[in-house]
Amino acid sequence: MQMRRRTGIRRRWAPLLCLAVSLAVISYSAVGRADSATPAVGAVVALGDSFVSGEAGRWLGNARGGGASAHGTDRLCIRKWWGCQIRPGGVYRNGPTADCHRSDTAPVEILARSFSRGVNLACSGAIARDIYLPPEHGPASGLAPQADRLRAVAAHQRVSLVILAVGANDVGFSDLVADCTEAWFKSQRGGCRRAGAIALARRLPIFKERVEMAIASVTRAMQNAGYRRSSWEFIIHGYGSPIPPGRDYRYLESSVRRLLPGGCPFTDADSDWANDDLVSTLNRNLKRLALAHGARFLDLTGAFDGHRLCETGSDLVSGSGPAEERAEWFRFLVPCCGGEKRESLHPNAYGQRSIASCLSVFLSHLNDIGTCTSRPGFGPSAVRVALSPAP
């Protein structure tokens, strides 16, 4: 059932956030920085999966070789004349082996500069059931339900903004990636696309049902903490593809360089499917669910354009060190081991800054829908957000 949008918080924030925006605007394009959001009273809380928690925030681009510091891309390493000193406190909260991989560059950590506090409840590997309030919550992760933890946070301090992104693991995104990698090794052009389309169609109804319940759990958690719906902002954002369309690779499809040094072993046909069907289907359905439940939706489909793995215009980091304008903003595929394998195909520190920039610009306007795009050859702060009202 479609819920009527509550506009109370918009009326209160409008004078601070965007005096110039007219409610009659149909589409708007803006450029902004991650640190440009108007300071707001209250905390910002993030819930969801690894795309939100900050997985792969350890890295500034990708490099082969370069010793322990990998040409300066490894943020866990502070380069000294004698070698590598491990960064005090690491980059992941509770240490590099903490299961949720909540990094210090997660978008919520960056947005927190404009709020009284940032609280990261997202967890790498989370599925929609990990959000549910009891009694619906299942034992997916063994952790307390994220919505229940949100309720506890909101009961003890004011929460102004909740950010949610979940659902990729409910459609088996990692399994689909594995199938696509296998297809490249077997030189099966489109081999992943055919099987993946069938799997996606089969899992999509479950995805929609579970994500809808997760969204409802967030709203109910805030209500249980004593909040009126008009007193807090709710943003749901989508996903972006870690790989470019087939035409935009800098390595030939048949070249071993897609594996090494590229770390992008995918065929052109499967890459087109991942962009045109897989990611777009997830985002399209997330948008519908968000708007149906009175939340705003931010589409990140284009938030990494020009900086995806093996994409023309970007490159691996060399001895000159990382530069955000030309670096890749996703961690390349690492087939092993432990934590580094989990970081594969996730937005790195640059990619997470891009998400934060997109959110910052979106927050400074009143529209229901935002579509974020990056600018090839520019850094994460140069994103553009096209804005539009709900249909």
Residue type for 379, please? G
Q: What is the pLDDT of residues 150-165, one digit of tens each?
A: 999 999 999 999 999 9
d(CA 104, CA 120): 10
Task: With a cut of 70, say whether residue 117 has pLDDT above it.
Answer: yes
**Residue 296 in contact with residue 369, Cβ under 8 Å?**
yes
Say what the pLDDT of residue 38 is: 46
Domain ranges of the chain: 8-14+25-62+95-388
Task: With a cut of 60, say whether residue 249 has pLDDT above it.
Answer: yes
Specify the CATH architecture of the domain 8-14+25-62+95-388: 3-Layer(aba) Sandwich (3.40)
Mean pLDDT of 103-124: 95
Write the CB contacts of 251 (distance below 8 Å, at least 6 apart in sequence): 257, 258, 262, 264, 310
By the 10 Å C-beta count (0-12 exposed, 13-18 middle, 19+ buried), 375 is classed as: middle
Name the residue among 376, 237, 241 with its Cα closest to residue 301. Answer: 241
Q: What is the reported pTM?
A: 0.89
Phi/psi for 59 (5° steps) reads -115, 145
Say what the pLDDT of residue 227 is: 97
Residue type for 296, please? R
Strand partners, 296: 235
* Region of poorest pLDDT, from 70-84, 252-266, 284-298: 70-84
Q: What is the pLDDT of residues 50-90, one digit of tens each?
A: 999 999 999 999 999 888 789 999 999 888 777 788 888 88
The conformation of residue 278, written as its DSSP 8-state character, comes to: I
Distance of CA 161 to CAs 3, 106, 116, 230, Å?
A: 19, 15, 11, 11
User: What does the longest C-alpha to C-alpha distance in the chain come to?
Assistant: 63
Q: What is the pLDDT of residues 164-195, one digit of tens each?
A: 999 999 999 888 888 999 999 999 888 899 88
Confidence label for 94 from pLDDT (cuts 50, 70 and 90): confident
**Residue 340 in contact with residue 57, Cβ under 8 Å?**
no
Say what the pLDDT of residue 78 is: 82
Say what the pLDDT of residue 11 is: 38
Confidence label for 142 from pLDDT (cuts 50, 70 and 90): low
